[in-house]
Structure 1
Amino acid sequence: MKIRLAPVWEKDKEAILELLLSEKSSDTKVSVIPILGMGGIGKTTLTQHVYNDEKVQLFFDLKAGVCVSDYFDVVRDDLNLLQVKLKENLKGKKFLVILDDIWNENYHDWTILRAPFQAGGPGSAIIITTRNQGVSSMIGTTQAYRLQVLSNDACLSLFTTHALQTEDFSMHANLKDIGEEIVRRCKGLPLADYEFEEKQLVWLWMAEGLIQLQEGEKQMEELGSQYFHNLVSRSFFQQSSENKSRFLMHDLINDLAQSIAGDTCFKMEDGSEGSNKGKISKKARHSSYVVSSFDGTKKFEVFYQPNMLTCRYLTCTVPLQLLPKLQYLRVLSLSSYYITELPDSIGNLKHLHYIDLSHTLIKSLPESMTTLYNLQTLLLENCPIEKLPSTFANLLNLHHLNILNADLLEGMPPQIGKLTSLQTLSNMFVGKGTCSKVKELGPLSHLEGMLCILRLENVVESKDASDANLIGKPNLSGLMFEWCSNIIEPQDDESQHKLIELEVLDVLQPHHTLKELTIKCYGGVEFPTWLRRPSFPNMVLFPTFISLETLYFDDMWAWENWISYGDFPQLRQLYIQNCPKLLGKLPNHLPLLEKVVINGCWNLVVTISSFPQVCQLEIEQSKGVICRSKIHFSSLSFKCLSTISEFTRQIEGLTMEGLTSVEDLTIDGCEELMPLWSNDAGLKRPLPCLHVLNISNCPKLVSFVAEDVGEQLQLGFRSTFKEIKISNCIVLRSLPKTVMYNSTCLEYILIDRCDSVKYFAIGQLPPTLKQLEIQHCKNMLILLDDGDTNCLSSSTSLVDLTIIGCPSLKSLTSSGELPATLKYLHIWSCQKLESIAKRFHHNSFLEYVGISRCENLKSLPTGIHSLSHLDQIYLAKCPALDFFPDVGLLPANLRVLQIFDCEKMQALPNSIYNLASLKLLKISECPSIVSVPKEGFPTNLTSLYLSDLNINEALFEWGLHKLTSQKCLNINGFRILTPLKELLILECEKLSSFPKDGLPPSLLQLYVNGCPSLKERCKKDQGQDWSKIARIPCVWLDGKFIYDP
């Protein structure tokens, strides 16, 4: 049986065929095409289908394929005996050979192996598949074709191709859930979610002692980088498709690494308190903990002496009690935990090489930390830290200090220039008084990467800036100079300030290899000598920066002209923002420019012909756009065109030839904009690459496609739009039928503040639509398809329906049923809404129902209990809603139930006790609820929130009865809530104490609000009940975190 290639690989196959069969390849004697990718990704399957393609059969005289996965040896395999005969058979013939799974990196061996192939005719080709980037670089005559990992949707498509011989589940809807579960269990998404940077891993290797330098070798970071890229070249790590500077590890490689590590690595992954089953092995040298939202002390009782601890909300006793026990700790990461301080005992952990406190609430570090003489890496990014220890300069082995966004830091500690091993210094805060001056940067000759020098207004002598010796730091790739705005007092001499700023910037000249330069809030009247010519005080004139890749201009309010007398041969990104007086021309010679962002330059007319042919543009809030060359215009990628005052005058110039590569088009604030596509004016054909169309604030736009367009144009819309967003176009009545009927890939539609829209013809929506949002359309009356009694259910792919702020809407559908495929239903602020649907019986996929501020809604549809996938119900501010249908039955799998401010809601569902999956229950401001079900609440609840209820009977054995006047809580009642993690006590003015024996040991979150007596007893280290709550990691009293100072 002939196996059909899954659609997910068709694009890859066509790309390989293009390389094989193109005219360019025919001119080459023998081309070698490497296909690179991780093991199991499908390289062999792909090459098999290329090999068997009919066009390949006709193109080549001879074909052959062989698997070379074993380590081949030219001598061992005695290839010499075969080479003469092979050369004779190939002589003058056009051949295709596939060498599958090559590992050998020996160039000499490859030279011998390929020798007979040189006898082939022009157009001959060798395809090799490999996991090793080094092999592809050595062998290939073209750039390697990297086979990317499959998305989850692509994995599903591949599964259905093999299991059902179809492309999707449309003909087998009953098997969809099973198929999705099989793909999930097979880990169809091959890469883990966690992305990491190279330097992050290298720094950890250094801390663990895994990088050992021999005498005379390079620095540890360089050697670590070499190790890292060796692993990348062997597909041990994969480069992220979203961010080229980040990497991922394939889950199979991860499993293999864990298997090899065995007992030397210990991972705590179970999120429940005290549930870790096994004990940590005495062989363990590396321990990690997958973060839960709230963690108590029992979590960490398993730790003895691990080398590594990566632990969010921690009770303050965890660092205090745990850290002193970890005497051999080399790596400590408490990143993103809600902790405010570290104990002084951290200074005793002499083996610490790496500390990560990023995204915590720590405001200061103990002085004892400066005795950690082995410390190499200290990460304090996004910390509200105000001061570093005064003896910080003692950390002579510190290589990396990240204080990015630590904007409360008053300045750098004294004598930071002693830290001569520093390679990474994210920010240099120039302070006053005893803080380090900018000249302390002088001795730091090893600095590399990006350096931001902030608060330059505190530099009063230019000599200090000169001593920083930035021109002597060739490893710095980026610099940012920033002055604080609004620093001039009324009595100060403004001209003197401007002169000082000029003098300072003049001596901060960087090395010519700089790749990125940003200057912010500079107040000087002219640029320094290394940026300008003295005769042009209002113009920015750059000399040659041969390595500059990124250039930012921001908030330069007086800048009028930029004339460049030098080249930027490596410039890839140019940003010009909030420069309202800028006129003139941008540089002409920017051969490698990839991205241009221009925003807030109201007098600037951008000349497109200034840019290279492959460039992404985002132009907003500018005067206009001019194109003098269709060649340039047709190959640019417009990411955004918006709020351009002269745009409408140039719309006729935006022909098909001018926008062929546009993928994401935004048109904003064009007052005269009429249809983009019409027979009379504007575009005559669809834009083949356009996926996202966003039109806003165009008051005369009736439709973006005229009704009279021809049949060819209508058919052209089939494969264009994926997303359409229309907002604040007040005369728009509906979306064009030509797009709705013909589109085969439209998945998302947003209609916002379009007051002329009165109904939405759901029956006309394309079957591919997955998400529909309608917001603030004040005259919309109903979601209707001109009398079609089953209109809404006809959209077979709709997954997410959101309706917000439609005050005239009375009903979603007259048919009485919602789409069977719907998973998420959101309805907000529809004051006149009376009916959602008659029944829920056919909505088995529904997972979330959220309804808020629908004052006229009296009941929910029947059949809610039959929704087997329903996970959450949210009801708020629906004063007329008085009961649950179906005698209060709810679906068995419901996990979250929240009801707020529903005045007429008379009772909770009777079946609530049987909801074994219910974890979160919040009931608030429902005065008509005066009792609870006799059976009580489900015992598996982890979060209970009861507020402003008129319950007039005891909650039986819970010990929570009559909270508004209760003075104590009965712990006996709490014992049946063994999984309880969160407790909220609100507006209980007379409640004065907690139970004598304390609160449930499982409790991890406690919120107390409006309980003055109880608040007094909970004061940190002082209150009578402090000992009862000290172990709880997250405690809030009247909106304040208890560990905040």
Structure 2
Amino acid sequence: MLPSLRCLRVLSLSRYQISELPQSIKNLIHLRYLDLSYTKIKQLPKSVTTLCNLQTLDLSYCKDLTELPVNMEKLTNLRHLDIRETRLTEIPTQMSRLKDLQHLTNFVVGKDGGSRISALKNLCQLRGKLHILGLENVTSGSDASKANLKGKEHLEVLELEWSGDTNDSQKEKEVLDQLQPHARVKDLSIINYGGTNFPDWLKRVHSFQNIVSLKLIMCANCYFLPSIGQLRSLKHLRIAGMKEIMEVGREFYGDASSSSCLIKPFQSLETLSFDDMLEWEEWHALGAGEFSCLLELSLVNCPKLIGELPNHLPCLRKLKISGCQQLLSIQVALLLQGLSSLQKFEVSGMPNLKELPLELCGLSNLRSLEIKECSFLEPALEMGLPPMLKTLKIDRCESLKSVTIALSSSEGMKMNTMHINNIGLEELRIFDCSSLLQLSFPIGVLPPPSLKILDIYNCSSLEFPLPLEETSIKVLRIRSSCDLLKSLSLGFFPKLRSLEIRECINFETFSSIPNGELQNLTKLIVCNCNNLKSLPHQMHTLLPSLQELRIKECPEVESFPDGGLPSNLTTLEIHNCEKLMKGRMGWGLQALPSLSKFTIAGEYKEVLESFPEEWLLPTALTFLNIRHLPNPKSLNHKGLPHLTSLKVLFIIQCPKLQLLPEGQLLNNLSGLKIKNCPLLKPRCQKEKGEDWPKISRIRLIGLDGEDIINFK
């Protein structure tokens, strides 16, 4: 096939599950652009180096690729080589001859006489981003200097990475000393560096006046942070995994010997994160106007941090504190006092946080609050939340027993009760609160008219707050929760757009809709409800906008309601519904003119040797997914010919299926996926299988994870 495309300029096979290229690729002598990203290519054929006009070669995310052809230097017109996220352990030694190469995403320093870092010396046109790996294989500082990074004025992003295993911290320091980039670099990352301190060039204000982003990650032997507070263009700083750092002190903000020392340190910094700082105990704030423009602060997994935190961050909009077990409520409260601009606050993994600070009430701009893994949280009795809060998520707070949404102060509230004084709440999510018994709203305003999303997950003891009047909720999810819930009246949710009920073990029925139809409901999912007897009655008229219906593991549902399904339905999935499946000839799918996607699955007891029956499926289907059917031996040739619009067919885990249908159906397909069908697979092998002539015209065929592409 490829030899016939001799004039081809661009070839993209991105994301196709191919594992090799044919040698005939060499015939595409005019090819300029070759994209093999996200494929299973293990190695390129040697003939690819004869593509003398090739300018771009994209091998990114080829995670099985282990080597490049030796003669890569023959690609004299190559300008762009993307080898991100591959398994390459070195670069061909003669790559240094590609002097016009402009984009090289990764350079891997080889071991024992492999690719040397000096190969970068002549690649003076490199620009954009360069990630250098294997720096532990650089033999000396003198060897590192030959890379001439300081002379590569077009590079904007530079990542320097070691393996993290070092027996010679002095050598690694000497190497990093010689890897100073050009002053125009904007983004610098230093990863797994094994030296005990950072080079002087990192803190030189005039040498790095353009640096915008700096990451210092897993530099495990460094005892002090570099003095970088005076880098005036620095906007983003991430410090992670520096296990020897115990203190962030004065040196962090600027060089004490500098005449400009401590004049608004970090004056341009917008995002700051400390992650996995396992020994860090104290953070000394200067009170000299530092972090005056900071927008986001993240403290994650700093288990020994006990000291003061910066308490005047006037521009801060997003704050995350997670896994800082020693921090107390009072320290969080002091931090919150100066955060008048805060819009999002996430606190998690803090067992010493026993109550939410009252200072939360003063955060007039707070829109989102997430509280996670605060096992001993005991909110104050009279506590409220900011009036402008839109989103509240409570996750894995094991001691919490009651959550009350209130519009005014409540009296007589018990401990372990969260009182939310808020009128603008739009989204409430409560996950994995094993002790939670009650979610309540005051009578008469139940729930608040602003609430649009209510999502409850894995709260089995919770008593669902059945409304007493119509609500404004648009999305309702009840998953693995509310074990006592038996019935849900949809009439109280006139604005509902999406309803999902999963694993509600005692749920039996949907109550009637007293005030007519639910005009807005487009999505209904019911899964693992073993006691559910039926779907909403008269749903063909009461749910006129329903487009998506998924029913899974509901063994007691026997049939669709009288009148059938809504005419606007486009997607239908039925999984493991034994009784419903028995009455399939009464489903009335032929009356659904919009139904385009249908999935049937389940290990049914019924011996079903051929599927589907004649006229079971509607003619409008474009996607058919048949999966987990253990008994069918063939696809019924009478039940498929009328599917003239079908474009994609999935057949998954049908172990006895051994025959594909005859006729025009397969010729009309653009995609066919066959997986875990051991008897069918050999019949569909390219050029070999008995059924290959039936499917050879299909453009894309997936066969147990391997893609077959037909260009005919």
Give the TM-score of the pair, scaled to structure 1: 0.59
**Structure 1 residues 983 and 423, CA gap change in structure 2 (3 angstroms):** closer
**Structure 1 residues 560 and 880, CA gap change in structure 2 (3 angstroms):** farther
8 Å CA contact 1:844, 1:869 repeated in 2: yes
Pair 1:559 & 2:234 matched? no
Matched residue count: 670
Listed as ranges, the matches of 1:193-204 within 5 Å are none
Equivalent position SS for 1:817: helix
Listed as ranges, the matches of 1:451-466 within 5 Å are 451-460=130-139, 463-466=142-145
Partner of 2:590: 913
Structure 1 residue 1000 displacement after superposition: 1.8
Partner of 2:529: 854
Structure 1 residue 665 displacement after superposition: 0.8
Partner of 1:481: 160
> Deviation digits for residues 754-789 of structure 1, max 9, x if unmatched?
23433434653322222111111121133324xx3x
Partner of 1:654: 334
Structure 1 residue 594 displacement after superposition: 1.4
Partner of 1:424: 103
Pair 1:699 & 2:375 matched? yes
RMSD: 3.6
Equivalent position SS for 2:359: coil
Structure 1 residue 618 displacement after superposition: 1.4
**For 1:731, which of 400, 403, 408 is the aligned residue?**
400
> Deviation digits for residues 140-183 of structure 1, max 9, x if unmatched?
xxxxxxxxxxxxxxxxxxxxxxxxxxxxxxxxxxxxxxxxxxxx
Structure 1 residue 411 displacement after superposition: 2.5
8 Å CA contact 2:15, 2:38 repeated in 1: yes
Which structure: greater helix fraction? Answer: 1
**Unaligned ranges ≥5, structure 1:** 1-316, 487-493, 533-539, 951-962
Partner of 1:388: 68
Structure 1 residue 929 displacement after superposition: 6.3
Partner of 2:348: 668
Equivalent position SS for 1:481: strand
Partner of 1:877: 553
AA in 2 matched with 1:471: K
> Deviation digits for residues 506-551 of structure 1, max 9, x if unmatched?
4333334433322222334x3475469xxxxxxx999964333222
Equivalent position SS for 2:578: coil
Distance 2:483 2:545 in 1: 31
Equivalent position SS for 1:551: strand
Distance 2:637 2:653 in 1: 20
Distance 2:209 2:658 in 1: 72
8 Å CA contact 1:323, 1:346 repeated in 2: no
**Structure 1 residues 999 and 363, CA gap change in structure 2 (3 angstroms):** farther
Pair 1:981 & 2:647 matched? yes
Pair 1:1000 & 2:675 matched? no
Equivalent position SS for 1:724: strand
**Structure 1 residues 691 and 500, CA gap change in structure 2 (3 angstroms):** same
Listed as ranges, the matches of 1:885-1034 within 5 Å are 885-886=561-562, 889-905=564-580, 906-908=582-584, 909-925=586-602, 927=604, 935-946=615-626, 964-966=632-634, 974-985=640-651, 992-994=658-660, 1000-1009=666-675, 1011-1034=677-700
Structure 1 residue 563 displacement after superposition: 5.3
8 Å CA contact 2:194, 2:221 repeated in 1: no
> Deviation digits for residues 870-929 of structure 1, max 9, x if unmatched?
111111122222222225x01112112111122332312431122222222222226366
Distance 2:674 2:10 in 1: 36
Structure 1 residue 416 displacement after superposition: 0.9
Partner of 2:319: 639
Pair 1:444 & 2:444 matched? no
8 Å CA contact 1:964, 1:987 repeated in 2: no
8 Å CA contact 1:373, 1:395 repeated in 2: yes
Distance 2:607 2:657 in 1: 20
AA in 1 matched with 2:72: F
**Structure 1 residues 607 and 974, CA gap change in structure 2 (3 angstroms):** same
Partner of 2:471: 795
**For 1:779, which of 437, 461, 468 is the aligned residue?**
461
Pair 1:514 & 2:185 matched? yes
8 Å CA contact 1:802, 1:826 repeated in 2: yes
Pair 1:605 & 2:605 matched? no
Pair 1:581 & 2:244 matched? yes
**Structure 1 residues 699 and 923, CA gap change in structure 2 (3 angstroms):** same
8 Å CA contact 2:309, 2:331 repeated in 1: no
> Deviation digits for residues 243-301 of structure 1, max 9, x if unmatched?
xxxxxxxxxxxxxxxxxxxxxxxxxxxxxxxxxxxxxxxxxxxxxxxxxxxxxxxxxxx
Give the TM-score of the pair, scaled to structure 2: 0.84
**Structure 1 residues 865 and 597, CA gap change in structure 2 (3 angstroms):** same
> Deviation digits for residues 183-204 of structure 1, max 9, x if unmatched?
xxxxxxxxxxxxxxxxxxxxxx
Equivalent position SS for 1:519: strand
**Structure 1 residues 596 and 629, CA gap change in structure 2 (3 angstroms):** closer
Distance 2:309 2:298 in 1: 19
Partner of 1:820: 494
Structure 1 residue 717 displacement after superposition: 4.1
8 Å CA contact 1:359, 1:383 repeated in 2: yes
**Structure 1 residues 381 and 838, CA gap change in structure 2 (3 angstroms):** same
Partner of 1:171: none
**Unaligned ranges ≥5, structure 2:** 254-264, 409-418
Distance 1:471 1:1002 in 2: 59
Structure 1 residue 696 displacement after superposition: 1.6
Equivalent position SS for 1:393: helix
**Structure 1 residues 1012 and 380, CA gap change in structure 2 (3 angstroms):** closer
8 Å CA contact 2:109, 2:137 repeated in 1: yes
AA in 2 matched with 1:511: H
**For 1:863, which of 538, 541, 544 is the aligned residue?**
538
8 Å CA contact 1:775, 1:804 repeated in 2: yes
8 Å CA contact 1:781, 1:811 repeated in 2: no
Distance 1:637 1:858 in 2: 49
Q: Compare 1004-1013 and 769-778 and name the one that shifted more.
A: 1004-1013
Distance 2:507 2:152 in 1: 66
Q: Considering only CA atoms, is the larger Rg found in Structure 1 or Structure 2?
A: 1
